[in-house]
């Protein structure tokens, strides 16, 4: 794990975190928005807080920015407790979901706003503002008011304004939520590029898992004010620690059954009269406990004949076919009525759609295709 090129300070026990949450809890009346969060975020990370609406991710960000105070616990920035520091005394800046551009100021004045509050000399303000405008490619819009530019341009002004003061930590609240899908994709890569060039630590809040996976070095999946899992995008996708995380990120088939451990594998009895499913795992499960297997659709193969030597093979009937161009997803009903999704890549233009509705097929996958989960 010690390749020099890989950026993974969270694996280094000696690394000092830029931000450290310690038992942070936030209650609004009787409602607990944030429930005892411990979390370290490191310098130059692009950290994503991901979760459905109401999971507390925005509250967590607002606590970082200083708009809310935690009810319990503390937050350290560079080892200093942030408690009681108002937003204007923190070296964090925020890019708002609504962008919050000042409508009475030009693009230039919006970006220069924070610099002027620091009472920098006019020349320095101008130089830094122009540098920021070049960074987000807005040089031609100096005099425009926010209402005179497009949504994508407004998004850039908001980013430039938040970056202008060179914050230790940049907070982005659903920064791309208002953009259409195509522009959002492009902007994601620009965001990563800008993050790399400035070396600023970014914390992004999003409910879009694809966005989080694309931009982030690490993703924290949140659920009801708690952090369900923190890992890099591969870890979140391939090694979720719970069915909640597996289900939240991407598409997944989850099969429930009783476990019988063997050496390095587990057999899961999932239905009467059906052969148990075998799955490699490092978990030590008691015999007979309830366990789940989570398998991504692209790891399930589909065949019209019974596969010869696959450890896991299940017979079923095609219910639905979703043709998406690049891939096709087959919805296959198996014993007990559960529907399993199997995805095939359409690698050839002509040879595709081998199966049709109501056809009896076999689904099969390897021992390492799925992951065994306890909850």
> Closest separation between CB of residue 100 and other proteins, Å?
4
> Closest separation between CB of residue 142 and other proteins, Å?
5
Show the binding pattern over residues 250-279: x = contacts other proteins (CB under 8 A), - = does not. ------------------------------
For 262-338, where are the E strands, in sequence order? 265-269, 277-280, 290-295, 301-303, 312-323, 327-334
| Burial of 210 per CB tally in 10 Å (0-12, 13-18, 19+) | middle
> Closest separation between CB of residue 70 and other proteins, Å?
18
Give the strand pairing for 301-303 and 360-365.
Answer: antiparallel
H helices present in the chain, as ranges: 57-65, 107-117, 122-135, 151-163, 181-198, 209-215, 233-238, 243-248
Q: Nearer to other proteins by C-beta: 127 or 239?
A: 127
Q: Nearer to other proteins by C-beta: 64 or 363?
A: 64
> Closest separation between CB of residue 332 and other proteins, Å?
47
Q: Nearer to other proteins by C-beta: 13 or 103?
A: 103
Degrees (nearest 5) of the Cα angle 326, 329, 335?
A: 165
241 with 228: CB under 8 angstroms?
A: yes
- The number of helix segments (H) and strand segments (E) in the chain equals 8, 20
Q: Nearer to other proteins by C-beta: 118 or 196?
A: 118
Partners of 280 in beta bridges: 265
Stretch that binds other proteins, among 87-95, 195-203, 310-318, 358-366 (CB under 8 A): 87-95
Considering only residues 88-147, where is the footprint of other proteins by CB under 8 A?
88, 92-94, 96-98, 100, 102-104, 106, 108-109, 113-114, 117-118, 126, 142-143
151 binds other proteins (CB under 8 A): no
Stretch that binds other proteins, among 63-71, 174-182, 191-199, 205-213 (CB under 8 A): 63-71
Q: Nearer to other proteins by C-beta: 66 or 316?
A: 66
Q: CA 60 to CA 48: how far, in whole Å? A: 12
User: Would the CA dihedral through 330, 335, 338, 340 be positive or negative?
Assistant: negative
Binding site for other proteins (CB under 8 A): 65-67, 86-88, 92-94, 96-98, 100, 102-104, 106, 108-109, 113-114, 117-118, 126, 142-143, 161-162, 165
């Amino acid at each position: 794990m010690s390749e020099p090129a890989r950026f993974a300070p969270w694996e280094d026990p000696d690394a000092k975190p830029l931000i450290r949450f310690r038992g942070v809890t936030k209650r609004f009346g009787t409602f607990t928005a944030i429930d005892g969060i411990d979390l370290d975020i490191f310098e130059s990370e692009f950290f994503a807080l991901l979760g459905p609406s109401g999971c507390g991710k925005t509250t967590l960000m607002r606590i970082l920015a200083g708009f809310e105070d935690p009810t319990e616990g503390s937050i350290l920035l560079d080892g200093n407790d942030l408690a009681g520091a108002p937003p204007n005394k923190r070296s964090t800046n925020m890019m708002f979901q609504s962008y919050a551009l000042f409508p009475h100021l030009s693009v230039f004045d919006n970006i220069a706003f924070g610099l002027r509050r620091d009472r920098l000399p006019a020349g320095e303000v101008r130089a830094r503002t122009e540098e920021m405008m070049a960074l987000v490619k807005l040089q031609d819009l100096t005099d425009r008011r926010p209402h005179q530019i497009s949504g994508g341009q407004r998004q850039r002004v908001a980013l430039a304004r938040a970056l202008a003061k060179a914050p230790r930590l940049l907070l982005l609240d659903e920064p791309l939520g208002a953009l259409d899908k195509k522009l959002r994709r492009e902007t994601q890569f620009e965001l990563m590029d800008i993050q790399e060039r400035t070396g600023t630590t970014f914390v992004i809040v999003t409910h879009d898992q694809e966005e989080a996976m694309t931009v982030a070095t690490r993703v924290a999946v949140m659920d009801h004010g708690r952090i369900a899992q923190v890992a890099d995008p591969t870890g979140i996708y391939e090694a979720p620690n719970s069915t909640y995380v597996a289900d939240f990120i991407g598409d997944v088939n989850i099969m429930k059954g009783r476990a019988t451990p063997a050496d390095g594998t587990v057999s899961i009895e999932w239905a009467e009269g059906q052969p148990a499913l075998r799955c490699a795992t490092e978990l030590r499960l008691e015999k007979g406990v309830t366990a789940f297997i989570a398998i991504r659709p692209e790891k399930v193969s589909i065949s019209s004949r019974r596969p010869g030597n696959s450890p896991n093979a299940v017979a079923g009937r095609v219910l639905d076919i979703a043709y998406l161009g690049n891939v096709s997803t087959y919805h296959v009903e198996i014993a007990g009525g559960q529907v399993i999704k199997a995805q095939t890549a359409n690698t050839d233009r002509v040879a595709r759609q081998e199966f049709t509705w109501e056809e009896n097929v076999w689904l099969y996958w390897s021992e390492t295709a799925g992951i065994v989960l306890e909850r």
